[in-house]
Chain A
Amino acid sequence: MIRFIARRGVRALGVLLLVAVLAMSMPLMLPGSPAMAALGLEATDEEIAAFNDRYNLGADPLTRLWNWLDGLLHGDLGTSIITDAAVTGQLAERLPVTLELVAVSLVLALVISLPVALRSAWRPGSILDRVSQALAFVLLSMPGFVLGMLLIYVFAVVLRVLPATGWVPFSEDPLGHLTHLILPVTTMALAEAAVYLRALRADADDVLESTYIHAAQARGMKPTRLLLTRALRPASLPLVTLVGLNLGMALGGTLVVETMYAIPGMGRYVSTAIGQRDYPVIESTTIILAAAMVTATLLVDLSYRLIDPRIAHDART
């Protein structure tokens, strides 16, 4: 296991290094010079050089990466060109917001999808199975912003029971925080639940056809216990993969929800930075998001071995 982790860790570092170099090459690849855009066509060479030095833009990608890593060790991810504020501080404000959205929506999605998928697989063709499959299909077909607008219309405009937009920090008003969290989290969770439901439903179907399941059933094991203790574990490998990938991508993938519900998280932060060519922000967030993705993938690989020890055994032999 340790050797496996070490091997995957080295590979992950290699991926991160590649992404970091690419991120640091962006100012060279994208049209327009940040210094020229900020200072104008008539800026002098001295002004451009000072600007580039200030925002770590002038040197080659490897030198810039070295400067960035040096800053990272000192807790300094650079300065935003647009706001002139420290990227570290801005990330510290926005990252927890998105993490909360992602975590709560993941839990909600699993709470919805796990029981429904297992019960549907247990009774194929039942009303629950048909309705859940149809709903999952609808939710998968529906873009996130359409689902969001629908929820806003129903719960904020018609029923007026939840706020349409906005974000209230938990420290300021716990109840207000909760009410502002419901619609965005539901928007994310429903879309995720549809994916998990279909994946788990299909695999659980196969697992439930296994002879050991029939044997357990013949021994009189109750359905709920059988599903949770015998069927869920082998059926959950694809689900774990999906959850892992979702977690990795979710940090940067909350743009639609954060924009629609006016939530000051990472998605909006990255999107705004891209639109304004705020390279120090884009570079730092790109590397952080890549690290999140690589970490999630590594955890998924590790969890395979815990869920199904045969995988580790096969790897050894």
Chain B
Amino acid sequence: MPSTLKLVGLGALTASLAFTAAACAPSDSADPAGSASTDTTAAAEVATPVDGGTIVYGLDRDITSLDPASGAISSQTVQSVANSIFDALMQYDESGELVPFLAVSFEPADETSTEWLLTLRDGVTFSDGSVLDAAAVIAHVTRAGTEETSASRATVATIASMEEVSATEVRFTLVAPNASFSQYFTRDLGQIASTTATDEFGFPLGTGPYVTTEYSAGTGITMTKREDYWGEAAHADTIEFQILPDADSRYQSLVSGAVDAIWSEVPSQFTGAEADGLATSTGNSATSFGLFNSYVAPFDSVEARQAVALAIDPQALLAVANDGTGAVATSVLQSTSGYDITDPQPAYDPEAAKAIVDEIGGFEFAYLTDGRGEAAARAAAMQQMLAEVGITMTIQSSDMATWGAALYSGEYQMLDFTTSLFGNIDTNLSMLVGTGGLANFMGYSNEDVDAMLAELAGETDHDARGVLLNSVAAAVWDDAPIVMYTENLAGVIYNPETLQGVEDFTNRPQVSIQTRLMWHAAE
């Protein structure tokens, strides 16, 4: 890693694990995401929002902190919690466009996109009544860059300086051009937290529609609606988040009516929801792929990597690991990226793979998974596919901590990785395949790719960016440091008879649940 990236390790790890967790998505049968969006839209068209009542929402994990700088609420899995307390400066609208939310605008202030001007809304206050102003934003971003657990330290390291232009304006000067800078402000970095006031549990206050009234790390969180919220008030009086770590009992809690909605990343739950009278709202917000360690044999050879990549049938992996839900990943550009994919990954071609193996000789390697069921199913299917072309793959199934340790220490040959990083490809591609990139665990390095990434950083024209992104992808396929598998579904399952106002995430790069928009039809 380059020296400029020093001291960002914790953020990187936190972000990576968060992304990974967020990633283990999947879903729907024929077109679950589509059907989910239809359900949601239909509900929104026919029903009038009802205020009051309590919405009970089942989360899949303990929430160890409600501080955006802790990294604990930065993954998309728990954005429902983060969005309830903290408003983000930017968000994605229903068509997947990045739009201001807490900001009025966030635009480049020069031609190279090295300077950016953020303009805040007037009249926004934190839940203690203090005003959200430029100084508060600068303090928040500064803290996100210094807290050792923050997931955004690497991003803040790209900011050379911040200047308070006026009470509602901040000028960011970056270390290097970055035409996608504002995209970093949709999650923890953009979810402005007070640096001067905390709630009774010691967590920073936000400007969001709810305030925390009860908190227990292992049990749940209760939030009450703010009457002085700057925007349109939330519908439900109370949001109760319950920690329900077991996926099966979480789903049964929903079916039994004990909770109104749950977070899910389980394919069979998305496919079975309709039969249980439930609706889903999901996005292709996580990508599974294989990652080669190009520092060690056999994958220090590009031919070996290409042979493996050509021998794997992503369509079969989709059927086996994702229950047919989601989509095949054909590029580093996701289907929700907003760009056309002109240079997809080379298609499944066992004959070509066999030809390479015949030329370089058969080889063996170990494939490391993090122990999740989908990863195990994927690995078993790959083992068979590779055996057919003369490659012997052994499966190493470990837990998440061991998997993460191997990833960071480089002690693996090939590794199963699921991440939401590809959802924000504009900001994350250099991190994934740029030399020394924070998520470039493969040790991949290509001067041409680095040059295109540098050009991409300063390019503001959408079409030109699309061309550059596809060019990077094409170069990456030649070197095959990674092999793409599937785009997986993740999102919310809910009972449409009792809960409405769930947004449609079909075209958005991330599933960011907004509880303020939901209402309890039964109230």
Name A's B-contacting residues (CB within 8 A): 30-33, 36-44, 47, 82-85, 90, 93-94, 145, 148-149, 152-153, 156-157, 160, 163-167, 259-262, 264, 268-269, 272, 274-277
Contact = CB atoms under 8 A, between A and B. Distances in A.
Nearest to B371: A275
B64 A152 contact: no
A152 B249 contact: yes
Contacts of B255: 157
B148 interface: yes
Given A42-B7, A259-B246, A262-B243, A164 B252 contact: yes
Contacts of A90: 217
A280 to B, nearest CB: 14
Contact of A165 (B5, B244, B409): B244
Given A259-B246, A262-B245, A264-B218, A156 B404 contact: no
A260 B258 CA distance: 15
A160 B255 CA distance: 10
Nearest to A40: B9
B216 A40 contact: no
Given A42-B8, A90-B217, 14 more contacts: A32-B401, A37-B408, A40-B12, A40-B13, A43-B7, A156-B252, A156-B256, A163-B253, A164-B253, A165-B250, A166-B258, A264-B216, A264-B218, A275-B401
A261 B217 CA distance: 16
Contact of B248 (A94, A260, A277): A260
A164 B249 contact: yes
A114 to B, nearest CB: 31
Contacts of B246: 165, 259-262
Contacts of A277: 401, 405
B249 A83 contact: no
Interface in B1-60: 1, 5-13, 58
Nearest to A269: B218
Interface string B245-283: 110111011011110000000000000000000000000
The 9 closest A-B pairs by CB, nearest first: A40-B9, A32-B405, A264-B218, A156-B256, A164-B253, A83-B64, A42-B6, A277-B401, A262-B244
Interface of B: 1, 5-13, 58, 62, 64-65, 148, 216-220, 242-246, 248-250, 252-253, 255-258, 399-402, 404-406, 408-409, 411
A220 B297 CA distance: 84
A92 to B, nearest CB: 13
B405 to A, nearest CB: 3
A272 B8 CA distance: 25
Contacts of B249: 148-149, 152, 164-165, 260-262
B481 to A, nearest CB: 18
Contact of A42 (B1, B219, B248, B252): B1
Nearest to A153: B252
Nearest to B5: A42
A156 B257 CA distance: 9
B250 A272 contact: no
B399 A163 contact: no
B405 A37 contact: yes
Given A42-B7, A167-B219, A152 B243 contact: no
A259 B61 CA distance: 10
A158 B10 CA distance: 46
A156 B408 contact: no
A82 B219 contact: no
A165 B253 contact: yes
A31 B405 CA distance: 7
B8 A268 contact: no
A40 B401 contact: no
A264 to B, nearest CB: 3
A160 B244 CA distance: 18
Contacts of B9: 36, 38-43
B148 A39 contact: yes
B245 A259 contact: yes
Contacts of A152: 249, 252, 256
A202 to B, nearest CB: 35
A165 B258 contact: yes
Contact of B402 (A31, A44, A145, A148): A31
B64 A156 contact: no
A37 B13 contact: yes
Contacts of A94: 218
21 contacts: A31-B402, A32-B402, A32-B404, A36-B409, A37-B13, A39-B10, A41-B409, A43-B7, A44-B6, A153-B252, A156-B258, A160-B257, A163-B256, A163-B258, A165-B244, A165-B253, A262-B243, A264-B216, A272-B62, A274-B399, A277-B405
Nearest to B409: A32
B276 to A, nearest CB: 9
A31 B401 CA distance: 9
Contacts of A85: 217
A43 to B, nearest CB: 5
Contacts of A148: 249
Contact of A268 (B218, B256, B402, B409): B218
A149 B248 contact: yes
A93 B216 CA distance: 10
A259 B248 CA distance: 10
Contact of A41 (B64, B148, B406, B408): B408
B253 A31 contact: no
Contacts of A37: 13, 401, 404-405, 408
Contacts of A153: 252
Given A40-B8, A43-B7, A277-B401, A160 B219 contact: no
Contacts of B216: 93, 264
Contacts of B1: 41-42
B168 to A, nearest CB: 34
A235 to B, nearest CB: 38
B243 A275 contact: no
B467 to A, nearest CB: 34
B259 to A, nearest CB: 8
B418 to A, nearest CB: 16
